[in-house]
Each structure stands twice: as C-alpha cells, then as structure tokens.
C-alpha cells in the first residue's frame, strides 16, 4: 500500500513541479517587454516634458538649437483620429446593426462577416498604400496631395472592422425578450433598434469604438503614405488639405535623426503617445466594467 502523504520524489510530482515553474517563467518573460517598454519610455520621455513642448513647433533638424515642441503633431493626431472616427463610427455601427438586427444569416451577411475579419487582418501599411493610390496620387480631393483628410481616411479603414465587430457582438448580447417587448407594443423595427436595442448595447459599442480609436491613433505606416508630416502650426480649416503632422510620424522621423535634440523630442512624443493610448485603453476597461455591472441588475 502507498502512503497517502505527498511524496516529493515521485516522478509525477517532479514533472508537475517542472511544468508549473516552466509556465510561470514563460508568463514572466511574456510580460517583461511591456514592463521594460513602458518604464524605459517613461524614463526617457518623462524627463523631457516641459510646458513649451505642448506649445511650440518642432525646429527643423540640422543645428544645435533647441528642438522645439510637438504642438502641431499633437493637434494633428487629434484631428486625423477625429476624421477617422467621423468616417468609421457611423459606417461601422450601421454595418453592425445590419449584421445583428436585419440580416437573417444568409450568404450576403456571411460574406460581410468574412470580409470584416479579412479587413481586420490587413496590414496597416496596405491601408496607407491603398489610400495613397486612391486619393493622394490622383489628387482627387480638390487637387491636394498629401493631406490630413487622406490620413484620416486611411486610419478609418483600420478602425472599421473593430467598430463593426463590437457593434455586432454588443447587439447580439441584448436579450431577444427586450426586442419582443418593444415589437409587442407595436414598435417598428427601426424604433426598436433606435430606442431599445442600441441604448442597451451602447456601452459595449462605446468600448469597441474607444479601442478602435486607440489602435488608429498609434498607427504610423498608413500616415507616411497619406498625411506625411508638417513642421507648422495648424491654423485653420484649410490645413486639412495639406500635409499634417502626427505624433507617430514625428517619432518615426526624429528618432532616426543624428541630432540629440531631435531624438529627445521623439522620446517626449513617445511618452505622450503611450500615455494617451494607455489611458484610452484604461478608459475602455472602465466602460466595460460599468457595462458588466449594469447587466446584472
């Protein structure tokens, strides 16, 4: 008879210990890049943060003067992301509503779902090249070439699948009883969607939209082909049709410069970019947690 006490030397217990520690080590290695990355950027960039950073134009590289600030790039990122949201949110939410509420699971809706998944996997640089070919090189937007508008369009392609998917899934979580309740009191399909199902799914859709924005705000490749870069303040509406700076492209440009001042500016921009994307992500988690809570009522 074997003893009931735990025996360290038993081969199955040794194997168990080994695999437990192996998986713990792998988990630690997986989280290390994130920790190092965030702390390194906080350390390198955090020390560069000054009030002038937010108000000045970047100086062109080449002299030993101060590198200036990131004001145009910061505003540019805001504008380009806003343009992307203005395009992607209505189209994405509308498409998601079609998939979840109107489609009956036929060939067309299956094709759209498949298409959305493919679009979600398209490399971001392809979205940039596509808009370059469609908008920039044809000068179709009132004769302008590289522009903030084109940049926004490229980013909207990247946002679209996230928005469609989360709308679709958020609406599917709304219990059918609620739809029946509304239709049962004589509401039409569109009243039901507008007044009952969409408000119920609002927070999960909002979470998806926020995540989509966070992804788009950090993209570089599509902007190199579309918005390019600008050193100058954004002063008016007309600037939408010209080259526009963004944090991501500023980092790309200035990190490769041989001058120390520009490199430091790139670090500062990285700091701002990481911090804002991180806070947007945390904001979406709070939204999601809030959704969970209200569902249980």
Binding site for other proteins (CB under 8 A): 104-105, 175-188, 191, 195-196, 199-200, 294, 297
SS3 68: strand
Cβ pair 274, 248 in contact under 8 A: no
Output 16 or 292, the one with its CB closest to other proteins.
Answer: 292
Tell me the closest approach of the beta carbon of residue 95 to other proteins, in angstroms. Answer: 21
Output 111 or 202, the one with its CB closest to other proteins.
Answer: 202
Tell me the closest approach of the beta carbon of residue 177 to other proteins, in angstroms. Answer: 4
Tell me the closest approach of the beta carbon of residue 14 to other proteins, in angstroms. Answer: 54
For the record, the structure tokens of 64 come out as 């030993």
Output 119 or 187, the one with its CB closest to other proteins.
Answer: 187
Query: What CA–CA distance (Å, rounded) separates 47 from 288?
Result: 33
At CB < 8 A and 24+ separation, what contacts does 62-70 make?
62/259, 64/259, 64/261, 65/261, 66/261, 67/254, 67/259, 67/261, 67/262, 67/264, 67/265, 68/265, 69/265, 70/247, 70/250, 70/265, 70/268, 70/269, 70/272
Tell me the closest approach of the beta carbon of residue 104 to other proteins, in angstroms. Answer: 6
Tell me the closest approach of the beta carbon of residue 197 to other proteins, in angstroms. Answer: 11
Output 111 or 190, the one with its CB closest to other proteins.
Answer: 190
Output 200 or 246, the one with its CB closest to other proteins.
Answer: 200
Query: Which residues lie closer than 8 Å to 132 by C-beta, 6 or more apart?
Result: 150, 225, 226
Q: Buried (b) or exposed (e) across 72-108, using 16+ Cβ within 10 A?
A: bbbbbbebbbebbbebbbeebbebbbbbbbeeeeeee
Output 49 or 183, the one with its CB closest to other proteins.
Answer: 183
Query: Which residues lie closer than 8 Å to 173 by C-beta, 6 or more apart?
Result: 201, 204
**Chain-centre distance for alpha carbon 126:** 17
Output 49 or 187, the one with its CB closest to other proteins.
Answer: 187
Output 17 or 195, the one with its CB closest to other proteins.
Answer: 195
Tell me the closest approach of the beta carbon of residue 191 to other proteins, in angstroms. Answer: 5
Tell me the closest approach of the beta carbon of residue 116 to other proteins, in angstroms. Answer: 22
Tell me the closest approach of the beta carbon of residue 259 to other proteins, in angstroms. Answer: 58
SS3 224: helix
């Amino acid at each position: 008879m074997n003893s009931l006490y735990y025996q360290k030397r038993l081969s199955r217990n040794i194997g168990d210990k080994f695999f437990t520690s192996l998986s713990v080590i792998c988990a630690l290695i997986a989280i290390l890049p994130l920790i190092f990355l965030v702390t390194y950027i906080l350390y390198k960039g955090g020390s560069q943060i000054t009030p002038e950073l937010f108000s000045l134009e970047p100086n062109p590289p080449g002299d030993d003067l101060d590198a200036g600030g990131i004001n145009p790039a910061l505003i540019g990122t805001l504008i380009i992301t806003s343009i992307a949201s203005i395009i992607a949110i209505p189209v994405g939410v509308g498409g998601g509503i079609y998939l979840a509420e109107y489609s009956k699971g036929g060939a067309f809706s299956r094709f759209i779902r498949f298409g959305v998944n493919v679009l979600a996997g398209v490399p971001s640089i392809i979205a940039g090249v596509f808009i370059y070919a469609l908008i920039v090189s044809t000068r179709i937007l009132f004769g302008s070439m590289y522009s903030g508008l084109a940049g926004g369009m490229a980013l909207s392609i990247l946002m679209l699948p996230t928005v469609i998917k989360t709308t679709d899934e958020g609406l599917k979580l709304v219990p059918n009883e609620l739809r029946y309740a509304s239709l049962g009191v004589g509401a039409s399909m569109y009243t039901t969607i507008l007044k009952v199902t969409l408000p119920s799914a609002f927070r999960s859709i909002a979470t998806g939209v926020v995540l989509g924005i966070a992804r788009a705000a950090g993209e570089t490749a599509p902007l190199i082909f579309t918005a390019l870069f600008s050193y100058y303040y954004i002063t008016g509406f007309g600037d939408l049709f010209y080259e526009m700076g963004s944090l991501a492209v500023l980092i790309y440009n200035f990190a490769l410069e041989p001058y120390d001042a520009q490199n430091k500016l790139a670090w500062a921009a990285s700091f701002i970019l990481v911090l804002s994307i991180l806070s947007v992500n945390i904001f979406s988690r709070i939204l999601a947690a809030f959704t969970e809570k209200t569902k249980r009522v």
